[in-house]
Each structure stands twice: as structure tokens, then as C-alpha cells.
Structure 1
Amino acid sequence: MTHGHTNAGVAQRSHVSRSAVGKHVNAIFDKLGLTRPATAAVSPLSCATSASLS
């Protein structure tokens, strides 16, 4: 996902079903407290910015 791949693209490359990828992605988001892929993309940037401002 960090390389811009969709769930379907990851599934194809990993030889697993699209629903399996979706379940894993949702589990990761839940553990990180994220709700959307856009949040996942922005979170590292905001953390890096906050750290550099400290």
C-alpha cells in the first residue's frame, strides 16, 4: 500500500484473495487506531513533522 498498490494488486502479487488482504489491512488499521488509508499515509508525515518541531 505504501507503494500505491490497491488491495487487489497486493492480492495478485501475494497470491492470496482480495478479501484476505482487506482483512489484514483492516486488522493493521485497527491496531494503529486508523480508519482510512489516507490517515495511514498522513500519520507518518505528521509524526515526522512533530518530531522535527520539538
Structure 2
Amino acid sequence: MNRNQRPEHIATDRKMVNQAGLATSIRLILNVQQSNHLIRAVTRTSYFTLKLQAI
């Protein structure tokens, strides 16, 4: 019984690990996108302030 069940457990464990890895990479991608937006916003604001100071 145990010998037959083990491969299934290994397969489910791998599935769970893959899903967890996928979720983590998605979160990382989202975080990167958010920080990119933040950086863009900051550069825009600093650009505008520089322009205002120049005037």
C-alpha cells in the first residue's frame, strides 16, 4: 500500500511546490511592476519640479 501511494504523494508535493513557485514569481513580477510605476512617478515629479525651478 505505502509503496503504491508514495509516487502519488511525490507528484502532489511537486504540484504544490510548482504552484507555490508560480505564485511567488507572479508576486515578484507584480512587485517589480509596482516599483517601476513608483520610480516613473518619482522621476516625473522630480522632472516637473526641475522644470518649475528652471522657470
Return the TM-score normalized by structure 1: 0.32
Q: Which of the two has higher C-alpha Rg?
A: 2
Relative to its length, the structure with more helix (as a share) is 2
Higher relative contact order (CA 8 A, sep 6+): 1
